[in-house]
Amino acid sequence: MSNPIKIYCVNDGDGKQLIEKNILHTEGYELSFLASGQACLDAARNSPPDLVLLDVMTPNLDGYETCEKIRDCSQLNHTPVIFISADTSIETRLHSYASGGDDYVVKPFEESELKAKVRATLKRKQTLDLTKKEVSDVTLSTMEIMTSMGEMSTVVHFLQAICLCANYDSLAKKVIKAHQDLGLDVAMQIIVNDEKLQYFTDGVENPLEDSAFEYVRNQGRLVDFGQRTAVNFPYVSIIVRNMPLDNPDFHGRIRDHVAIIGQGADSKVKALESAMTVNTQRENLLNIISQIESTVVNISKNYESQRVSNQSILATVRESFEGSFMNLSLSTEQENALHAFVEAADSKVNSLFESGINLESEFAVTLKQIDEALKASVTESVEEPEEEMDNETLTLF
């Protein structure tokens, strides 16, 4: 059952019975009669009415002063006031309006007139109250939307910023900064290759948090315990130390934001680990290529040394053959055949050496191409200097 409409009546007594009869008994309002303007103000501050019927002439404070004080009071300034007076002059009506009155009734008044003015004034107040509530609700919703957009801006700036992170420490700084911008105190743990790296908003480690991280890692993606909330991913866990439990809406949004930040950080850790693995493999390949190049150089030197030695041996054999021709009593045809045989052997040996040199040259070119390709790839992955994100890079509102 709704509360009855409360009306205060500050009256000199002439119209009390008529007001009582016309309003209280026929409309069911809760009517209170007060002897002075000050008494009305005192009662209204303790229990605000829905409407005040105010006589222009009242003891101590007159009706005008009483109405002005009602308008000056933040608790009462929207309370409607209907002035009652036997004065019909336009000056009195204007004075009533200037002091803050909503309507004016002349005594003696007609029953129907008083009822109509009371109903109309209460209807206007009801409409005004409803409008104020709607405005208040819209304002609150707008503020919540703006706050939420600001929070999302922080999250998106974080996701942009981590693209420039080249190591785990710089990533952790971005994570801590994002949570600080959301008003949160956090602890963060990164696990890579069985190594645990821990970071904190205040730089101070809580000895119990290591155990807390061990516990929450086996409890699911999001874990609430006391004023703390933990978010877990394969490489990253984050514990928020000061969740806003007194604000359910903000609490829900923060859980979502922390989960997004955690997921972004986890993906970046995975990317950094992969990049480090690839860089290590590249360095190993470059070392192997360097060793192969050194071996090829040594083979080339040995080839050249053997070629020189073989040419010397063949020259010696040729001289020996030519020197022995006189003692062997060979015919011209036989000597020519032997010369041809030695020349063919010399040419064949030189051809074999040339083939080996050409193969070594082609192999060296191939190694050089592989080396240049790997070095170019390594150069592209060299750590870039970190830059501060431009606040104007992203504007959400």
Which of the residue ranges 50-54, 122-126, 205-209 would you say has the lowest mean pLDDT? 205-209
CA distance 229 to 208: 15
Does residue 357 register a pLDDT over 70?
Answer: no
Residue 256: Cβ-neighbour burial (10 angstroms; 0-12, 13-18, 19+): middle
pLDDT at res. 226: 84
Least confident of 12-26, 143-157, 184-198: 12-26
Exposed, middle or buried by CB within 10 Å (0-12, 13-18, 19+), for 376? Answer: exposed
Cα separation, 221 vs 229, in Å, equals: 10
First-residue to last-residue Cα distance in the chain: 45
50 within 8 A of 3, measured Cβ to Cβ = no
Q: How far is CA 331 from CA 1, 319, 320, 351, 369, in A?
A: 146, 18, 17, 30, 57
pTM above threshold 0.75:
no
Structure tokens at 62: 């007159």
Tell me, what DSSP letter sits at residue 234?
A: S
Q: Could you give the CA distance from residue 200 to residue 210 in angstroms, rounded to a whole number?
A: 12
Read off the pLDDT band of 348 (50, 70, 90).
Answer: confident
Neighbouring C-alpha atoms within 13 Å toward the C-beta of 182: 34
Please tell me the predicted confidence (pLDDT) of residue 367: 67
In the predicted structure, residue 50 carries a pLDDT above the cut 80: yes
Burial of 303 (0-12, 13-18, 19+ CB in 10 A): middle
Beta 51-55 vs 81-85: how paired, if at all?
Answer: parallel
Mean pLDDT of the chain: 80
Encode pLDDT of 291-337 as tens digits.
Answer: 777 777 777 777 677 767 777 777 777 677 666 666 666 677 776 77
- The tally of CA atoms less than 13 A away on the side-chain side of residue 319 is 6
pLDDT per position as a tens digit, 91-137: 999 999 999 999 999 888 777 888 889 889 999 988 888 888 887 77
Higher pLDDT, 307 or 250: 250
pLDDT score at 293: 72
Are 87 and 56 contacting, i.e. CB atoms less than 8 angstroms apart? Answer: yes
Region class of 13: left (phi > 0), else alpha (psi between -120 and 50), else beta = left
